[in-house]
Amino acid sequence: MTALYKALQNHAEQCYYPFHMPGHKCGRLGIFTEILQQDITEIEGFDNLHQPKGILLESQKKCANIFGAEESFFLVNGSTSGILSAVLSACSEGEEIVVARNCHKSVYSALVLSGAKPIYILPETIPQSDFLGSISLKQVQNAITQNTKAVIITSPTYEGITSDIQAISDFVHKKGILLIVDEAHGSHMKFHDFFPKTALEQYADIVIQSLHKTLPCPTQTAVLHIQGNIVNKKRLKQALSMVQTSSPSYIFLSAIDACCDWLQKKGKIAFDDYVKKLEWFYKQSENWENIVLFKKYDFCRDKGKLILQIPQMQMTGIELNDILIKKYHLILEMGYLSYSIAMTSPADTQKGFYMLSNAITQIDNDICTMKPNTILPKIENVLPIIKCLPRESFFAPKKEISFSESAGNVAGEFVIPYPPGIPMIAPGELITEQQIKQINILKKANISFVGCYDNTLNTIQVLTAKGSETI
């Protein structure tokens, strides 16, 4: 039992009457009573997340020690709040930041808020797949200028692809440039050598992790870690206080603390068992003849992400997920055009792995009897043509036009397939015929979109003035 959890439990047992927020009054109406008894506000003895001096400060110090950071900050608004804060701490309006084009939409939101100028780099496309690979040192070297303030990279990606953070951090630090790593999908990697090294272990300056993605912690819980002397700590803390709620959930805070305690006390045994299950599953996949479990990549990959590739488009990843739900009662994380993702964690049981293995084995046997699907064109990833900064576009006058006829206009909003949450079009970018064709491919495959007012994409908001200069 953690110090914070114990303090909350003791407080509940003391039967204080709560003339304070929240309005459920510690569950007195009988709704979610057990949980709500520990849902308090910043009352005496329970510290303040925005100015921690007591129990929360000690919890954050414990977290930093477990993950190998100099300092860690609890996030109750997900990794999004950490990414926003990191970029706001690093860049002012007009300053350059090198951005991997496969970054999560929150990075682009940070560009709007900060006014920073993005210099995009496009990860390599992995052969025979619909997902992107790693960012190379050479790409970073070619992108930075004397005006570059920071570099932000996603590693691991949604598909578990990691980049050589060590090489990149060594290079940028010689130039006094800050390295931010969105490691939302990699909070588990430190705890077994079956997984790649973490960004902290490779000397990234700011690392953001979503504990809820791959560790036993509720949705919306995350942490931001820092190390080194390049981070503007004062500005970072100001940004965190600005973008995080002023009413942080003590249920979330206690859950983060409890997760850290679990990692400290039971993590070694749990991860050893977890890795054995993964190794067993990879061995089973060798018997499949049609569906392929993605294994090999030039650089390191998080093998906790099970990437099920469907060759020759006999079905889409979306259709595979639909079969798994309806016939086998298995819900995967994501289905895309040619692959599906099963996200795993130390909480997965051997029974769960058996169920997935047996289901995929059966589907693999049945594929040859299925009527082939219409072959969908491969999605081509290209760097955008930027006409104005994301912030400038966000606040510029706009008009709504037909999406099919929008080529040649400057986008006034995002077009983001979700999941995985990586923009195909961002505000300030020139809309091209190729993008329209590719987005229509995704629409045909029933991919959902966010970031745009009309999520059917019959229409799109564009700038009233097209602009003539590329920045």
User: Does residue 237 sit in the same domain as residue 296?
Assistant: no
> Got the DSSP string for 329-385?
----SEE-SSEEEEE--TT--HHHHHHHHHHHHHHHHHGGGSPPPPPPPPPPP----
Assess whether pLDDT exceeds 60 at residue 466: no
Q: How confident is the model at residue 312, as a pLDDT?
A: 62
Q: Cα 397 to chain center, whole Å?
A: 31
One domain for residues 87 and 178: yes
Query: What is the band of 228 on the pLDDT scale with cuts at 50, 70, 90?
Result: very high
Residue 309: name the closest of 290, 328, 334 by CA: 290
pLDDT band at residue 37 using 50, 70 and 90 as cut-offs = confident
Do 77 and 214 lie in one domain? The reply is yes
Query: Is 377 domain-assigned?
Result: no
Averaged over 250-276, what is the pLDDT?
94
What does pTM read for this prediction? 0.92
Alpha carbons 111 and 386: distance in angstroms, whole number: 13
| 349-391 residue pLDDT tens | 999 999 999 999 999 998 876 766 555 566 677 888 999 999 9
Q: Do 229 and 289 share a domain, yes or no? A: no
The single-letter DSSP state of residue 414 is -
Side-chain half-sphere exposure of 458, counting CA atoms within 13 A: 1
pLDDT tens string 90-133: 999 999 999 999 999 999 999 999 999 999 999 987 877 778 88
Same domain membership, residue 185 and residue 54: yes
Domain assignment of residue 183, given as a range: 50-59+66-245
Where are the strands (E) in 77-195, listed by range? 96-100, 117-121, 148-154, 178-182
* Residue 421 forms part of a structural domain: yes
- What is the rounded CA–CA span in Å between residue 452 and residue 462? 11
Do residues 296 and 336 both lie within one domain? yes
Mean pLDDT computed over every residue of the chain: 89
> Averaged over 54-78, what is the pLDDT?
97
pLDDT digits (tens, 9 = 90+) for 422-442: 889 999 999 999 999 989 888
Tell me if 344 is assigned to some domain: yes
Average pLDDT score over residue span 449-463: 93
Q: Do 228 and 295 have their domain in common? A: no
**CATH number of the domain that residue 155 is part of:** 3.40.640.10
pLDDT value at 298 more than 90: no
Q: What is the mean predicted confidence (pLDDT) over 189-218? A: 96
The per-residue pLDDT for 336 is: 85
Instruction: For the chain, count helices (H), then strands (E).
Output: 14, 15
Instruction: Note whether residue 113 is domain-resident.
Output: yes
Say if CB 308 and CB 339 are below 8 A apart: yes
Sign of CA dihedral 429, 434, 438, 439: positive
For residue 19, being part of any structural domain is answered with no
pLDDT at 309 over 70: yes
Count of domains forming the chain: 3
What was the pLDDT predicted at 5?
Answer: 74
Q: What is the pLDDT of residue 469?
A: 52
Asked if pLDDT for residue 301 goes beyond 70, the answer is yes
pLDDT band at residue 181, thresholds of 50, 70 and 90? very high
Minimal CA–CA distance to 83: which of 204, 223, 197, 191?
A: 223
Domain presence at residue 260: no
- Pair 290, 176 in one domain: no
The CA–CA distances, whole Å, from 187 to 77, 184, 253 equal 16, 7, 17
- Single out the residue of 240, 239, 235, 238 nearest to residue 223, CA to CA: 240
Residue 286 neighbours by CB under 8 Å, 6+ apart: none
- Give 33 or 45, the one with higher predicted confidence: 45
For residue 468, name the pLDDT band (cuts at 50, 70, 90): very low
Taking only the tens place, the pLDDT of each residue in 159-171 is: 999 999 999 999 9
Of the candidates 38, 21, 471, 2, the one whose C-alpha atom is nearest the C-alpha of residue 250 is 38
pLDDT at res. 94: 93
- d(CA 160, CA 307) in angstroms, rounded, equals 9
User: If you average pLDDT over residues 245-259, what whole number do you get?
Assistant: 92
Q: What is the CATH number of the domain that holds 417?
A: 3.90.100.10
Pick 197 or 38 by higher pLDDT: 197
- Among the candidates 369, 402, 427, a domain finishes at 369
pLDDT beyond 80 at 453: yes
d(CA 225, CA 218): 19
Same structural domain for residues 141 and 274? Answer: no
Residue 277 binned pLDDT confidence (cut-offs 50, 70, 90): very high
Three-state secondary-structure class, residue 442: helix
| 77 and 218 part of one domain | yes
Specify if 130 maps to a domain.
Answer: yes
